[in-house]
Structures are given as C-alpha cells and as structure tokens.
Amino acid sequence: MSRKKVLIVDADVASRNFIARKLLEQKYDVMQAGSGKEGLIFAWRDHPDLIIVDPVLADVAGEEIAARLKQDPRTQDVPLIALSGDQTHGRIKSCLDAGFNEYITKSGQAVATLNDTISRLFGLTVDEMKQGGLSIIFISAKGGTGTSSMCANLAMNIAHYQPEANVAVLDLVLPIGSIAPIVGYEGGQNIVTITDMPPAKTTPDFFHRELPQMGVWQFNLLAGSPDPESSNQLKVGRIWDVVTALKASYDYVLIDIGRSLSKITLPLIQHADLVTLIVSTDVSTISLTKTLWDYLKGKGVPPNSLFTILNRAVGLEGLSKTDAENQLGIKINMSMPYLGTNFAFANSHHQPFSLKFPKDTASIIFQDTAKEMAILAQKVRLG
Ligand SMILES: Nc1ncnc2c1ncn2[C@@H]1O[C@H](COP(=O)(O)OP(=O)(O)OP(=O)(O)O)[C@@H](O)[C@H]1O
Ligand SMILES: [Mg+2]
C-alpha cells in the first residue's frame, strides 16, 4: 500500500512542525502550508489523502477553506480535520457545518485523538471497504437475542459450505465479547491487544498467520474485549485498519456488533456487504428493532444489504413471523425455532450446534441460511 499524504494547514510553525513529526512517525507523507491561501493551492495541486486545518488562520477562515474544498471536485471527497485551540461550542458547530469531518481540540490528548481519527477516516474510504473479503455484520437492538450464537454458528456453516474459503470472525461487542466463551478460545489475543500493536505490524499477512484457528468451528477468531477494563483501553481508531487488513486476508469477515452500535461501528455497518439483524419475537424487541432499522436506513445502509433473522431465543411465545414482518415493515429472511436447552448445551460444550445436533432441523436451517447469506453478500458486492 502506498503511503498516505497528509496536508497540514496551520499558521503556527511550531504547532505545524510538531504535528508533522508525529505524522511522519506514523508513516504518513506530510505537506505543510502556513496560510489558508497556500493550503487551498496545495490541496488542489498535490492531491493529499487527508487535510488537517487549524481554523484560526489570518487570511481565510477555516470554515471557508472547508466550504471551498468540499465544493471543488478535486477535493470534495478528501477527509478534513479541524485541529484547533478554540474549544467554543459555536466554533465547533460552524466548522462541522462547513464540512469538516471531525473537530479536535489542541490539548494533551490531541495527538492520540488525531492518530485515531486519521486511521478511522482512512479506513473508511469506500474503495477499501469494497475490496477484499465480504464483510457480514451481526447486530441487534436488544441483548440476549442470540446474536453471538448466530454469528458463530453461521460462520461455521459458511466455512463448511465453502471449504476453500477462509473465514474470520471479529467480536466487537463492548464491554465484553462473548464469541470466545462460545467457541472455547482461552488465548490472550483479542481486539484490545491487537489494536494496541503498532499499525505497521497488523498487516493482512499478520492476520493470516496469527489469528488462531478455532478447530471444529472452521474459522479464525479475533476475540472481543475480555472485560470492561480492557474495553476502556480499546484504541477505537485502529478498528478501521484492522477490519481492512482482515478483509485483505480472509474471504469472509463476520463481525459481531451485538448492541454496540456507536459512531465507531456505524461506518462498518454502512459499508458492509451484508447487515444481519437478529430479532426476537417479543413486542418490545420488535419495536426497538424498527427504531434501529429506521436509523440505519437513514444513515444510508441500503435495504438490499439487510438480512433479517427471527430467532426465538427465549421461548415459544411471542409474535408470528407475519406479525413481526408487518410490525417491522421488512421481510424476514430466516426464522430459527426455539431450540430449548439444546442451543445453550451446544454453546456450553463449545460445539457448533450442527455438529452436536446434526439431525435437528435447526442444523438444516443453519446450513441453508449460511448458503443464502454467502450468495446474497456476493450479490450486494457486485452491485
Ligand atoms: N433459538 C434459540 N433457542 C434456544 N436458545 C437460544 C436460541 N438462540 C439463542 N439461544 C440462547 O440464548 C442465550 C443468549 O445467546 P447469545 O449470547 O448468542 O445472545 P446475544 O444476543 O449475543 O446476547 P448478548 O446481548 O449478551 O450479546 C444463549 O444461551 C443461547 O444458547
Ligand atoms: Mg452477544
């Protein structure tokens, strides 16, 4: 991958040099401009991949720079970060309104925040998200709907249906991931330790070699945060390049987000090949799910990338599939019956359901669903 070019526009030489040094350490190429006019010229002439502007400039206000960059086809898609000593709400708002993607205040935390933000914005480029393996998100509006069990079991079935494919599962549920306990992984590697590594180390090749293989589950796992304290340490800004690197070395990357929808996970959902929504049959989950789906739709998640699973995780009672579809206003792609204690039994033995209970109809449902999801994800990718 070629080095990314970052342009810094800041009238203060010392501040500019300091940021430049920090970015060079992160292996970015750096250009500097000391005024707004110079910044605009360099931006249009040198095609930086990202621009950092201190909005307090003598000649052109940062807001105007943002507006002009966003109006020009040469720079309209280039991410813009405001890095400013001005912490007033009015300034932050006017900058974000003018087109800055992010506003970071100059403080002791600024460099760490800047690094996180830059890698997140770079990871977000649609081009990168549309390359490599297919990403399949698992998300729910409420806990305990069976999201993690579905994710692990469908990953296993996708790997089983396509033995030549490499399948990875990434657990992004905060504050504690639960795929590791389901599959019986007890190693020390997880999303927190991985994002703590220097970016230069977490390459596609690294993930190909170092992600542990889960035996009968037939996939490789990047486990979730093991506890709330670790979750607080998670370097969220690194998640984007981790996902991009995983996609570069696996054919399928299944990501358990569970209820952890946030500013960090939203872009992953927006650019996923398939968004699997797990719904249970009680009225309150259905109504929360409707709120969640309306939100995601509003954020540009295309309805054709949605895959809905109605999972009777808690018992036989609850709405019928048709009632659930009517209340949600979306089609349900798959219904999983209540499996009594069998599912919990398979989970507690760290076994895929279809290996423990191969004769159960649910095993056939898992198989068919995995196939259908793989085909649909391919279709969405091809557009
Ligand atoms: N169809 C089902 N029939 C019976 N039990 C089920 C079914 N689906 C899930 N379960 C059980 O429900 C429990 C919760 O499942 P799981 O951990 O996968 O849910 P989750 O949505 O990921 O929860 P969390 O909100 O904690 O992340 C597990 O014990 C699982 O075995
Ligand atoms: Mg879960």
* 232-268 tens-digit pLDDT: 999 887 898 899 999 999 999 999 999 999 878 988 9
| 287 residue type, one letter | S
Assigned CATH topology for domain 128-382? Rossmann fold (3.40.50)
Q: Mean pLDDT, the chain, as a whole number?
A: 93
Ligand 1 atom closest to the CA of 339, numbered from 1:
3
The answer to whether the bond into 228 is cis (omega within 30° of 0) is no
Tokens linked to 364: 């056939």
The answer to whether the 5-123 and 128-382 domains have the same CATH topology is yes
Determine the pLDDT at residue 131: 79
Of the candidate ranges 60-69, 71-80, 139-148, the one whose mean pLDDT is the lowest: 71-80
How far is it, in rounded angstroms, from Cα 218 to Cα 181?
16
Judge contact between 160 and 216, C-beta under 8 A: no
Q: For the sheet containing 80-84, what is the strand order?
A: 29-33, 5-9, 50-53, 80-84, 102-105
For residue 47, is pLDDT > 80? yes
Task: List ligand 1's pocket residues with C-beta within 6 A.
Answer: 140, 143-149, 173, 178, 258-259, 311-313, 336, 338-339, 343-344, 347
Query: pLDDT tens digit string along 82-117?
Result: 999 999 999 999 998 898 988 999 988 889 889 888
Distance between Cα 260 and ligand 2 center (Å) = 10
252 closest CA partner among 136, 153, 349: 136
For residue 123, is pLDDT > 70? no
Q: Supply the residue whose CA is at minimum distance from atom 4 of ligand 1.
A: 339
Judge contact between 252 and 221, C-beta under 8 A: no
Looking at the DSSP bridge assignments, the partners of residue 7 are 31, 51
Determine the pLDDT at residue 128: 61
Determine the pLDDT at residue 36: 96
Q: Which ligand is nearest to the CA of 311?
A: 1
For residue 269, is pLDDT > 60? yes
How far is it, in rounded angstroms, from Cα 57 to Cα 55?
6
Domain boundaries, the chain: 5-123, 128-382
Of the candidate ranges 155-169, 214-228, 311-325, the one whose mean pLDDT is the lowest: 311-325
Ligand 1 atom closest to the CA of 343, numbered from 1:
31
Could you give phi then psi for residue 272, rounded to 5 degrees?
-70, 160
State the architecture of 5-123 in CATH terms: 3-Layer(aba) Sandwich (3.40)
Alpha carbon dihedral 6, 8, 14, 20, in 10-degree steps, equals: 0
pLDDT-derived band of residue 362, with 50, 70 and 90 as boundaries? Answer: very high
Neighbours of ion ligand 2 (CB under 5 A): 147-148, 178, 258
Instruction: Name the residue of 137, 138, 148, 149 to mutate for ligand 1: max ligand atoms within 8 A of Cβ.
Output: 149
Judge contact between 26 and 199, C-beta under 8 A: yes
HSE, side-chain direction, 13 A CA sphere, residue 266: 11
Judge contact between 210 and 152, C-beta under 8 A: no
Q: What is the mean pLDDT of residues 20-49?
A: 94
Query: pLDDT tens digit string along 192-222?
Result: 999 999 888 999 999 999 999 999 999 999 9
For residue 316, is pLDDT > 80? no
Q: How many CB atoms lie within 10 A of CB 70?
A: 15
Q: Which ligand is nearest to the CA of 142?
A: 1
For residue 1, is pLDDT > 70? no
CA 253 from centre of chain:
11
